[in-house]
Structure 1
């Protein structure tokens, strides 16, 4: 998955299916916040996820929030990737190696599996629904591409 192709898809669907910020918005995380987030979740974030939060800050695909890195972490930061990950881990909803990136109204949660890094530093994305967990994408970039281009699958 080339990020240039993903960028074109995001541009094509912007304002329709995709509501993202941009690199000029105040949502793009600082390097300090990225390091703090990685410390909180216990793993490095993959390159395609970092590309997304640095370029777009965060946003939604078909109304589903893609968890980002908030400028300041607080108890009100429910859309922050570290908040969602720690909350889900504390309740036994995900494995300690999972990083929660999105959830929806159907009880589905998308997670990065940091226990299975690829040579490129990317983690596979799994779809969890109850006790079921199946691979959805090979990387965060592919996850975004699939969510935007095929919201049903």
Structure 2
């Protein structure tokens, strides 16, 4: 991020209190790679990839935007399962999600494409084994 500030932007750091509140509101625990990035950047984008993260605005007041708002909206509006967390909106996949029901030994969750129009739970394809791997791949692809 910092080495590519001409094409990468980020918000403000997320405090431990905001992260704990976000986890409570979602009823999920964040994986280490996601937690590290939101602690450092809050929310960020690189070229054409916008990673939702967690942030607040003056206009929205106390509402947690980004992954929290998008996940809660997807649960309410299109029936996204409780164990999924939206980390990116995409024109092709619709949602890139973490599947918190499948932690690995490091507490990381795989990233899947999820679309409510797909039968059998909406999971379409596995995108990456972890959020960190997903972000790195997306950023490298956008910066080359």
Deviation of the 1:40 alpha carbon = 1.1
Q: TM-score, normalised by structure 1?
A: 0.76
Post-superposition Cα deviations, 1:25-56, rounded to whole Å, max 9, x if no partner, equal: xx211111111100111111010001101112
CA distance in structure 2 between the aligned counterparts of 1:92 and 1:115, rounded to whole angstroms: 19
Gaps of 5+ in 2: none
TM-align CA RMSD: 2.5
* Structure with larger RCO (C-alpha < 8 A, sep 6+): 1
Gaps of 5+ in 1: 1-9, 22-26
Counterpart pick for 1:138 among 122, 125, 129? 129
Deviation of the 1:122 alpha carbon = 0.6
Paired residues for 1:1-153 under 5 Å: 10-16=1-7, 18-21=8-11, 27-71=12-56, 74=60, 79-106=65-92, 108-129=94-115, 130-131=117-118, 133-151=124-142
State the number of aligned residues.
Answer: 136
Query: Which ranges of 4 or more aligned residues in structure 1 deviate by more than 3 Å?
Result: 10-14, 71-79
CA distance in structure 2 between the aligned counterparts of 1:39 and 1:150, rounded to whole angstroms: 33
CA distance in structure 2 between the aligned counterparts of 1:105 and 1:120, rounded to whole angstroms: 30
Partner SS, residue 112 of structure 1: strand
The answer to which of 86-95 and 72-81 deviates more is: 72-81
> 1 or 2, which has the higher strand percentage?
2
Deviation of the 1:148 alpha carbon = 1.1
CA distance in structure 1 between the aligned counterparts of 2:64 and 2:39, rounded to whole angstroms: 19
Partner SS, residue 44 of structure 1: coil
Post-superposition Cα deviations, 1:54-108, rounded to whole Å, max 9, x if no partner, equal: 1122111223321122247947968421111000111235221100001023452
